[in-house]
Structure 1
Amino acid sequence: MSSSSSLNRWLRPEVYPLFAAVGVAVGICGFQLIRNICSNPEVRVTKENRAAGVLDNFAEGEKYAEHGLRKFVRNKSPEIMPSINSFFTSPDRD
């Protein structure tokens, strides 16, 4: 009966946003871990790649660093709602 009460304590509707936030955070961490293990040019998992030593492969490093999201947001303003921000901060034009 004690397991039923602890289950009811954590599976309330008020706790669902917490589960969602933790799930998103774990998903982001997992994505970054997999991305680094699979495509980072400085990470070498296999023994043959580790034996190669330091490689000066600048093209591969540039490809890893300049991913699609970085290219997309490069020339954007760092604001969440730029139109609302400009409405409240720019002087009125009469």
Structure 2
Amino acid sequence: MATAPLKRWVKPEIYPLFLAVGTAVGLCGFAMARNLAANPDVRINKEDRAAGVLENYDEGKRYHDHAVRRYVSDAKPEIMPGINKYFSSSK
């Protein structure tokens, strides 16, 4: 009898909603964890907070230029490069 309420709420039409909400929660969790762990402006320890404003430009640059940004910095801003190349090349 316990499966009847579960069947009422979990239908195949709901799976895309679960996926979208799960993805959003995952991205928010990743952003929060990254900011708490690596952001030079976020200070969790009492000693770090007592230091005040730090002139740590190198740490800020390392945070801003992370691995994904370095990976895509050389790429052309195209969504579908194969299709763009096909339609823009002269025959």
Give the TM-score of the pair, scaled to structure 2: 0.87
Kindly state the Cα deviation for residue 28 of structure 1 after the two structures are TM-superposed: 0.6
Residue aligning to 2:57: 58
1:9-88 maps to which residues of 2 (within 5 A)? 9-88=8-87
Kindly state the Cα deviation for residue 18 of structure 1 after the two structures are TM-superposed: 1.4
- In 2, the alpha carbon distance for the partners of 1:42 and 1:76 equals 29
For structure 2, list consecutive stretches of 5 or more residues without a partner in the other structure. none
**Percent identity at matched positions?**
54
Corresponding pairs, count: 90
- In 2, the alpha carbon distance for the partners of 1:18 and 1:78 equals 30
Task: Give structure 1 regions of 4+ aligned residues with deviation exceeding 3 angstroms.
Answer: none
Q: AA paired with 1:92?
A: S
- In 2, the alpha carbon distance for the partners of 1:10 and 1:17 equals 14
Kindly state the Cα deviation for residue 56 of structure 1 after the two structures are TM-superposed: 0.4
- In 2, the alpha carbon distance for the partners of 1:12 and 1:29 equals 26
Q: SS of the counterpart of 2:68?
A: helix
Q: AA paired with 2:40?
A: P
Q: SS of the counterpart of 1:53?
A: coil
Kindly state the Cα deviation for residue 13 of structure 1 after the two structures are TM-superposed: 1.4
C-alpha distance 78-10 of structure 1, shift in aligned 2 (>3 A): farther
Could you give the per-residue CA deviations for residues 1-32 of structure 1, whole angstroms, max 9, x where no partner exists?
Answer: 8x944x32321112112111210111011000
